[in-house]
């Protein structure tokens, strides 16, 4: 017996009528930025999906129930909620069993999307291999999830604070297709390109959708990572952002920041050092990913 998430009225109607659907994560709402900017951004991303011809389905756990699609009232309540758990594969079921409320990371959103029959998911950037992982073993569950759950994930690459070469190596080991959209270089989140060449390149939503469908027909497990570069007008040049990342990481080490606290610390410090530009770029790349994900979802039918 497979668990069925609670569908919002909009998502339920879209599924019944065969409309394209795009899953969205909820940690950007609860752990990404303060209220009310988090609510405004969530509404903007959902509106972008609708404008591009698909229906958004924000995934979250509310009072122990997994939801695929939130009403506007639920979205507003989540944006103001306190003590919301950050859920990945390891703690999703535990939060639900305890009747808790939790926001989904990339891995947990993929699980929720798959249970709801949604094939495409738009996010900002995936987690990956952290710098120094050869000692800490700090590797995001997102990478393993991509190898197991058949959802196409549209992201601006992996977060630039990570070890991008090692992240690509782990994805290759897990057999995850990493497809750069419209360019050869692997995107670096706030920057459109890194020094790395992506393993694969595709230039149309139709080709990406066809690859998703063929993986299922071939019996291959897992999804695809679509690495969609941030729009040029919104990017922060690699030469500018790299020294800032180095400084933020050095400060984290000096202050003894470790484990799950590292990423929030680094993102906040980079926000401060860029005088808010990193957050503006983050919002722009999420909106861009929402548009591409909607196009892929429409091609999948």
- In Å, how far from its chain's centre is CA 249? 22
Is residue 31 within 8 A of residue 86, CB to CB? The reply is yes
- Sheet strands (E) in the chain: 6-7, 21-24, 55-62, 65-68, 85-87, 102-104, 120-122, 152-155, 178-181, 200-202, 224-227
- 262-273 and 277-300 are packed helices; what angle lies between their axes, rounded to 10 degrees? 120
Max Cα distance, the chain (Å) = 55
Decide: helix, strand or coil at residue 83.
coil
- Are 256 and 286 in contact by the 8 Å Cβ rule? The answer is no
- Contacts for 145 with CB less than 8 Å, ≥ 6 apart: 89, 106, 107, 110, 111
Which residues belong to the active site? 25, 159
Instruction: Quote the CA–CA distance of 104 and 109 in Å, as a whole number.
Output: 5
* Distance (Å, whole) CA 215 – CA 264: 35
The Cα 109–Cα 126 span in angstroms is 11
Place of tokens 């060449």: 197
Structure tokens at 4: 């069925």
Q: Could you tell me how many helices (H) and strands (E) the chain has, helices first?
A: 13, 11
Parallel/antiparallel/unpaired status of strands 120-122 and 65-68:
unpaired
Q: How far is CA 283 from CA 73, 125, 190, 242, 264, in A?
A: 22, 11, 10, 19, 16
What does R_g of the chain's alpha carbons equal in angstroms? Answer: 18
């Amino acid at each position: 017996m497979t668990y069925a998430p609670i569908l919002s009225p909009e998502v339920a109607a879209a599924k019944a009528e065969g409309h394209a659907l795009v899953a969205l994560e909820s940690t950007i709402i609860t752990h990404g930025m303060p209220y009310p900017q988090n609510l405004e951004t969530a509404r903007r991303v959902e509106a972008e999906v609708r404008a591009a011809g698909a229906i958004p389905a924000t995934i979250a756990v509310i009072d122990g129930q997994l939801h695929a699609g939130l009403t506007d009232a639920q979205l507003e309540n989540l944006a103001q909620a306190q003590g919301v758990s950050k859920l990945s594969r390891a703690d999703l079921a535990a939060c639900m069993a305890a009747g808790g409320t939790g926001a989904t990371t990339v891995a947990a959103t993929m699980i929720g999307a798959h249970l709801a029959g949604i094939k495409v998911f738009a996010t900002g950037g995936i987690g990956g291999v952290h710098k120094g992982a050869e000692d800490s073993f700090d590797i995001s569950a997102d990478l393993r999830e991509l190898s197991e759950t058949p959802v196409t994930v549209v992201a601006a690459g992996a977060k630039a604070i990570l070890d991008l070469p090692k992240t690509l190596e782990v994805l290759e080991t897990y057999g995850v297709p990493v497809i750069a959209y419209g360019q050869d270089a692997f995107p670096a989140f706030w920057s459109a390109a890194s020094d790395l060449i992506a393993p694969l390149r595709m230039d149309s939503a139709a080709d990406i959708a066809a690859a998703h469908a063929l993986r299922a027909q071939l019996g291959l497990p897992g999804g695809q990572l679509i690495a969609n570069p941030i729009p040029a007008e919104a990017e922060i040049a690699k030469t500018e952002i790299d020294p800032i990342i180095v400084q933020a990481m050095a400060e984290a080490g000096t202050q003894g920041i470790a484990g799950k606290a590292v990423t929030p610390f680094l993102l906040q410090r980079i926000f401060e050092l860029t005088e808010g530009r990193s957050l503006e770029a983050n919002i722009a790349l999420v909106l861009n990913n929402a548009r591409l994900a909607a196009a892929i979802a429409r091609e999948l039918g």
